[in-house]
A and B are shown apart, each in its own frame.
Chain A
Amino acid sequence: MNTYKNCILLILSLTTLLSPLTAQLDAQDPKLYQDLNLEIIGDYRYYFNEGAYEGQLQHYPSLAVEQDYYVEWEDGVHSIRFTTFFRLDRDRQRTHFDVRELYWQWVKQDWELSVGMKKIFWGVTESAHLVDIINQTDQVESFDGEAKLGQPMVHFSYLTTFGILDFFLLPYFRERQFPGQKGRLRPPFLVRDEDFRYESNAERWHPDLALRWSNSLGIFDIGLSYFYGTGREPVFLPDAENASFDLVYPINHQVGLDLQATTGPVLWKLESMWRENDLQDPVVAVAAGFEYTFGNINGRGLDIGLVTEYLYDNRDALALTGQDNDLFTGLRLALNDAQSTSLLFGGIFDLERSSRLLSLEASRRIGESWKVELEARILDNIAEEEFLALFQEDSFAQFRLIKYF
């Protein structure tokens, strides 16, 4: 519990530090703009089956708070963003606090510089995020890997006539967090930070580097990236002696490509990643597919989108995501009504095993400042040799209510 106390103290002290600073800015600069937003998120998650492992529960009411403070001065030339996230859950490991973002940004005509904790997203496909590797995944927060931990960085972005060049210096590494004794979606054993070793002697302080070039050329949007440093995804090396796993964060060289072609109602998407380190054979993964949208089909705004993506990973059953030779297919409905009602239903089907992963995500706004979300994930017939088989009993449905302040 001490960590939470520390975190709350940290927020309080930062807020106290920032407030005289902004008050001073206020007096000096009439162009100062600031904004504070708060979200309170109430969840009820229910796992259909009893846990496979000792200590696991079935009902998980949970509460989360996200605050976002933004201030800019000199007409937006300088700004600071500060976003924190806190979740309270029945599982002690899922109860967590994170500084999602805390950075200062300086914007000039054709470049911008950011220093601090920041979140970066790269990629185009819906069912896999192969090239998106700047931030550590917030594994305990979301099942789809889309929640991320804040990453300390110096980020320089430069606009050229041939696209945008991004340079990243990432001085510190953040470990992936795993559920605790009472948590679901975990292996039978508990995974803790001290169970991991690092390939680099510098451990968390290995300075990582990343570069990205991106551009839009007619119908094409392309991104090419290179990363050198501590892999965000740990390597599970089978340890024959103890009949368990050796958990290592390797030093990776990774090249990523993301490409989209937009032709009429169809979006063609490709993501590909090549990764090399000293601990495993080179990894090659590809996600490729299309999204076809039938727009405004009833004349009142109903859009129906069909998404299909093929997923390949040469690690075969050792791919942590289980997406080694799979097909994702999904249906997206958007009512485009005043409440922005939308629904995404889909499944990832293993093409050579029995594994199926079905999912449903739906959301609707209520009034001006409330939103309800429904999420369900069904793990069906997961083949024994896949990592996901550890979560075989962990199909769940979740109801979420969000209030915005």
Chain B
Amino acid sequence: MKTKRIIWVAFFAVLATSIFAQSSAQKGKDIAITADKADQGFESLIVDLTMTLKNKNGQTSTRYLKNETLELTADGDKSLIVFNSPRDVKGTATLTFTHKSGPDDQWLYLPAVKRVKRISSDNKSGPFMGSEFAYEDLSSQEVEKYTYNFLKEESYNGSSTYLVERKPVDPKSGYARQLVWYNKDKGYRLEKIEFYDRKNALLKTLTYSGYQIYLNKHWRAANFKMVNHQTGKETVLEFTNYQFGVGLTDNDFTQNSLKRAGR
């Protein structure tokens, strides 16, 4: 009798945990979906970037880039990144077709030899341009790329936020998990992300600042600051000259436009 009762209690306990787990997973995913939906409809976007790399001795170096994005709903977004500096890579550009599942398609244009190269998108954990941002930190954040777990509501810098843990689906990601703070009153915009490496040690923290709202619904930060806790290095991405509704189409994201992008 006693053992039976224990089994029943254990059964309900497991059931309750799994229901709770399910609901926190579902709630986490719902938050990610809501955040994604809140930003839908920007169609296309052009923005200038200044990337400042700072090593642990405080020495800095700066790069200038330009990013063009085409929003797609059936599959992931298309994007074009052009490097304007340092001078030796000026005119170099990348074209990326993000996919909701499976590897992204990516091409690199080398202006000195006028060559377009299809490159592997496999190495997503590698650093982007020697910075503290990995390729995967900058690629289009599709909902399908993670599994979610809602942790709690929390006040962050005076705002109410949802704290969600997400785990990358891709085993090639450099992270075991990430903690993401969504601002529940400001269109679920991101306030902060903590990145944990494969050994589950805190690797980097990304904080967003200088938010502005465009077209009454699209929140865009002017500053992304990424601090690497393990190396002491940091990278600041500064976004200027956001241009929405520029009417880009698929024709602006071809190998021909990739060659022209560097000017």
Contact = CB atoms under 8 A, between A and B. Distances in A.
Most buried by A among B123, B249, B251, B254: B123
Given A35-B263, A121-B115, A368-B62, A295 B125 contact: yes
A265 B85 contact: no
A137 to B, nearest CB: 12
Nearest to B255: A164
Nearest to B103: A264
A262 interface: yes
Interface stretch (A53-61, A279-287, A315-323, A336-344): A336-344
B83 to A, nearest CB: 11
Nearest to B249: A109
Interface in A294-320: 295-296, 299-301, 303
Interface residues of B, number: 38
A267 B120 contact: yes
A33 interface: yes
A369 interface: yes
Contact of B122 (A105, A293, A340, A369): A293
A351 interface: no
A337 B85 CA distance: 15
Interface in B71-98: 85-90
B55 interface: yes
A295 B89 CA distance: 21
Interface in B140-174: 174
B113 interface: yes
B126 A296 contact: yes
A76 interface: yes
A368 B118 contact: no
B256 interface: yes
Contacts, number: 106
Interface in A98-122: 105, 107, 109-110, 112, 119-121
A36 B174 CA distance: 40
B108 to A, nearest CB: 12
B98 to A, nearest CB: 15
A244 interface: no
B260 A336 contact: no
Contact of A260 (B86, B118, B249): B118
Contacts of A216: 105, 118, 255
B61 interface: yes
Chain A interface residue number, banded = 35 or more
B263 A33 contact: yes
A299 B174 contact: yes
Contacts of B117: 124
Contact of A301 (B89, B116, B127, B255): B127
A146 B114 CA distance: 10
B197 interface: yes
A336 B130 contact: yes
Contacts of B123: 265, 293, 295-296, 303
A112 B113 contact: no
Contacts of A293: 120, 122-123
B221 interface: no
A110 B251 contact: yes
Contact of B90 (A37, A157, A299, A301): A37
A9 interface: no
Contact of B88 (A70, A119, A221, A402): A402
Interface string A329-371: 0000000111110000000000000000000000001011101
Contacts of B249: 109
B87 A164 contact: no
A215 B192 CA distance: 40
B53 interface: yes
Contacts of A340: 88-89, 129-130
Interface string A358-396: 000000010111010000000000000000000000000
B62 A264 contact: no
Interface string A36-58: 01000000000000000000000
A324 interface: no
A296 B174 CA distance: 9
Given A265-B120, A368-B87, A296 B125 contact: yes
Contacts of B105: 216, 262
Nearest to B114: A121
Nearest to A112: B256
A214 interface: yes
A109 B127 contact: no
B118 A262 contact: yes
11 contacts: A123-B115, A159-B254, A262-B105, A262-B119, A267-B120, A296-B126, A299-B174, A300-B127, A338-B131, A340-B88, A371-B88
Given A262-B118, A338-B53, A339-B130, 5 more contacts: A35-B263, A216-B105, A371-B88, A404-B87, A404-B90
Interface of A: 33, 35, 37, 70, 72, 76, 79, 105, 107, 109-110, 112, 119-121, 123-124, 146, 157, 159, 164, 214, 216, 221, 260, 262, 264-267, 293, 295-296, 299-301, 303, 336-340, 365, 367-369, 371, 402, 404
Q: What are the 3 A-B residue pairs with the smallest beta carbon separation, nearest first?
A: A295-B123, A404-B87, A338-B130
